Amino acid sequence: MNRKLSITLFAVAALCFAGFALAGMSNMDTAPAPAAAPSTQPASAIDLRNTICPVSGDTVGTSNLVEVYNGKVYHLCCSDCHTSFEKDPSKYATAVAADPKKYGVK
């Protein structure tokens, strides 16, 4: 009787473990999140509509990556620039303010 109970408990535990393992794998087929999701801009932020990335100096083009800093929306060309901008936003904001034409601000 004791052996039968041990085997039953072992089987139940094995089934539970298998169920948890399969449940953990169910989200493995979903696509990973993008490296840098575009920031959402608050309604009160002023969109500078810059056409040149303040970080790299490259054309922004069709990129939808933006960064909001001190109430202004800065358009960036790629996720690498997004990361750099987040590390030192005042550096790039100051550069755009000093020479807006250079960055395509109209």
Which residues form the domain of 16?
A: 1-30
Residue 68 belongs to a domain: yes
Does the pLDDT at position 9 exceed 90? no
Q: Do 36 and 64 contact (CB within 8 A), yes or no?
A: no
Residue 66 belongs to a domain: yes
pLDDT tens, residue by residue, 51-81: 999 999 999 999 999 999 999 999 999 999 9
Same domain, 95 and 62: yes
Number of domains the chain contains: 2
Does the pLDDT at position 83 exceed 70? yes
Same domain, 83 and 55: yes
Predicted pLDDT at 44: 86
Same domain, 26 and 56: no
Residue 25 belongs to a domain: yes
Same domain, 18 and 50: no
| pTM, entire model | 0.61
Dig out the tokens for 92 from the structure: 């790039």
Residue 1 belongs to a domain: yes
